[in-house]
Structure 1
Amino acid sequence: MIDRRRFLHSASTCLAWFGMQSMASATDAAYPSRPVRWIVPYTAGGATDVLSRLICQRLSDRLGQTFIVENKPGAGSNIGTQAVINSPPDGYTLLLTSTANAINASFDPTLPYDFEAGIAPVAGLARIPLVLVVNNELPVRNVADFIAYAKANPGKLSIASSGIGTSLHLSGELFKTMAHIQFVHVPYRGSAPGLADVMAGQIQGMFDNVTSSFELVRSGKLRALGVTTRERSETLPDVPAIADTLVGFETSSFYGVGAPRGTPKDVIDLLNKEINAAFGDPLIKQRFAELGAIPITGSASAFGGMLATETGRWRKVVELSGQKKE
């Protein structure tokens, strides 16, 4: 009887040990061992969605698990961002980071989270120039004309944006401040309705991402006066930089990838490596070029440095413009 009890005890101990080892093996399985959520804090269909789906398809093919784009729009990207910050730091929930995160750090004093403390940088994706477009009937042909017209017609210009606190809105406010002019800001729920009203002549102009406006410019439905980056955009090579006229003016939209702070370094390094490698894919190169997107390559720490620089840059814009969320 004693031997039998000893045998049963030894057997149960061994089974428990093997069970623990199996659980450990499952836990330590190579990343990713299940689908990964890629949170886009904007509605589907825009540049952020297109860029995300391109990269997610590449990651799915390379890493053998599905990377699922999940749109969580609202509150100027804050809903999606907070959802990722509150997720387990295991690499299975990622965030499409953007200019909005850099802006909100100083523009929105009511933020319920600390972006810098809550998100670990993974990799850059793209930088997209903005362009100042106007209605074809507006009697201006370039940035100098626009500034002169605004000064000669105070209060007669209305400029659209995709919403208060966006890079489009604050680029306009920076332009207004640096050029010493006045115009009425009209916020919309996205670029499309704003651009439609500019084409219809209800609004005179708009700062917009090159991605969503270049076809309208090429087809002659809108007139482009200048791009917001120091260099001309390859998508609109005939359009000069605003800085050629308004020295020192520079803004753009950028996008990247972040993960909850505390995500293992080896997971971040793997994702960074694969995302950087994706830019060598001819299809992705072509689609980025078609969207007017300039790839951002480099290490996770380099992207972290860029985030810090952009946050500081937009803080200065917010302070200079005097704009804050109320």
Structure 2
Amino acid sequence: MSSASYAQAYPHAPITIIVPYPAGGGVDTMARLFGAALQAKWGHPVVVENRAGGNGAVGAQLVAKASPDGYTLLASAEGPLVMNQHLYTKLNYDPTAFTPVTIISSSPMFLSVTPSVPVGNLAELLAYAKAHPGALRYGTSGVGAPSHLSGVMLEMKTGIELTQVPYKGSAQSLSDFLGDHINMLFAFQTSAGPYFNTDKMKVLAVTSPQRHPAFPAIPAIAETLPGFAALSWVAMVAPPGTPPEIASKLSSAIAEAMKSPEIKKKIEELGSTPIANTPAEAGAFLKEESGRWGEVIRAAKLKVD
């Protein structure tokens, strides 16, 4: 049967979305949100399975080896699809071989400092960092996480010296930040948003290429450092060799679901910007992100194995 005729009949069976992280996180929430939308649209069960481990490699490998028929999908953040190929010497899958479906959403980070740091904007922060090498201690979710690589990129572009303090998750780093045990953070709106307008946190800039529409008064780092961009995002991909007609059908269905006011509101509540682009646009985005972070990781000589 040709791929075109096969795609025309798609879907005619249950779909499984693999999430390479534990249940309850942002990617898991997105997968379940759109899984329910696909199930409602097509009338076939859509099951979300959490296969955590290996910085997302366990779940990614499972999908990489699945049948390319559109019935096993991967909903993932940047680690398994972009970072891992540069951080690990050996992987049991090829991150570049997946069939792109869509980028569901993206989330910037907010560069913040504690009130004890005597600065009021990014320019003052950079001047302070140059005068006090290593004095700015920023919490991260671990080596190779967006919160870590954002700091590495800031060092590369400015020549400052920061001190990374790795944690097992963002909740602990935020707790230590609020307790003034660390004094700088690349914070996500989902966890740190309630503190943005309080005396607990000074938000200096956002890591998106432009200002965030929900926080127009907060400048983008790129306004001071052109080309700076650091986003966390959620992508949907299919196994290598999946017919493009199936990828397009999935992409269109997700884009249609994205028009729902309820779904858009939920995504914005998660601190994310809805995207839902085409497979071609998703592929170009993944390639661009791989180039951006690969350059940072190589320059910093980062390896986790």
TM-score, normalised relative to structure 1? 0.85
Q: Match for 1:60: what amino acid? A: Q
Find the aligned partners of 2:122 and 2:271 in 1 and give their Cα distance. Answer: 21
Alignment check: 8 A CA contact 1:107 1:324 kept: yes
Q: Which residue of 2 aligns with 1:108?
A: 88
Q: Mapping of 1:115-194 within 5 angstroms?
A: 115-117=95-97, 119-194=98-173
Q: Match for 1:113: what amino acid? A: Y
Q: Match for 2:15: what amino acid? A: V
Judging changes above 3 Å, is the alpha-carbon distance between structure 1 residues 49 and 157 closer, same or farther for their aligned structure 2 residues?
Answer: same
- TM-superposed CA distance for 1:219, in Å, is 4.6
Q: Which residue of 1 aligns with 2:277?
A: 298
Q: Does 1:233 align with 2:218?
A: no
- TM-superposed CA distance for 1:220, in Å, is 4.5
Judging changes above 3 Å, is the alpha-carbon distance between structure 1 residues 28 and 179 closer, same or farther for their aligned structure 2 residues?
Answer: closer
Q: Which residue of 2 aligns with 1:274?
A: 253
Q: SS where residue 210 of structure 2 aligns?
A: coil
Q: SS where residue 113 of structure 1 aligns?
A: coil
Alignment check: 8 A CA contact 1:214 1:236 kept: no
Q: Does 1:200 align with 2:179?
A: yes
Q: Which residue of 1 aligns with 2:222?
A: 243
Judging changes above 3 Å, is the alpha-carbon distance between structure 1 residues 46 and 134 closer, same or farther for their aligned structure 2 residues?
Answer: farther
Deviation string, structure 1 residues 204-245 (Cα, Å, up to 9, x no partner): 111133333222314543221110112111232221111222
Q: Match for 2:223: what amino acid? A: D
- TM-superposed CA distance for 1:247, in Å, is 3.2
Deviation string, structure 1 residues 93-126 (Cα, Å, up to 9, x no partner): 1101322121222222222221112x11111201
- TM-superposed CA distance for 1:69, in Å, is 2.0
Q: Which residue of 1 aligns with 2:3?
A: none
Q: Which residue of 2 aligns with 1:15?
A: none
TM-score, normalised relative to structure 2? 0.91
Q: Mapping of 1:21-170 within 5 angstroms?
A: 30-100=9-79, 101-117=81-97, 119-170=98-149
Q: Which residue of 2 aligns with 1:212?
A: 191
Find the aligned partners of 2:199 and 2:256 in 1 and give their Cα distance. Answer: 37
Q: Match for 1:149: what amino acid? A: Y
Alignment check: 8 A CA contact 2:104 2:277 kept: no
Judging changes above 3 Å, is the alpha-carbon distance between structure 1 residues 29 and 271 closer, same or farther for their aligned structure 2 residues?
Answer: closer
- TM-superposed CA distance for 1:277, in Å, is 0.8
1:312 to 278, 286, 291: 291
Instruction: Name the count of aligned residue pairs.
Output: 299
| Structure 1: 5+ residue stretches without partners | 1-26
Alignment check: 8 A CA contact 1:136 1:222 kept: yes
Q: Percent identity?
A: 37
Alignment check: 8 A CA contact 1:47 1:212 kept: no
Alignment check: 8 A CA contact 1:127 1:296 kept: yes
Q: Match for 2:148: what amino acid? A: H
Q: Which residue of 2 aligns with 1:321?
A: 300
Deviation string, structure 1 residues 38-63 (Cα, Å, up to 9, x no partner): 11112222221222222111111111
- TM-superposed CA distance for 1:162, in Å, is 0.9
Judging changes above 3 Å, is the alpha-carbon distance between structure 1 residues 269 and 155 closer, same or farther for their aligned structure 2 residues?
Answer: closer
Q: Which residue of 2 aligns with 1:283?
A: 262
Name the larger-Rg structure: 1
- TM-superposed CA distance for 1:251, in Å, is 1.6
Q: SS where residue 61 of structure 1 aligns?
A: helix
Alignment check: 8 A CA contact 1:234 1:292 kept: no
Find the aligned partners of 1:312 and 1:61 in 2 and give their Cα distance. Answer: 37
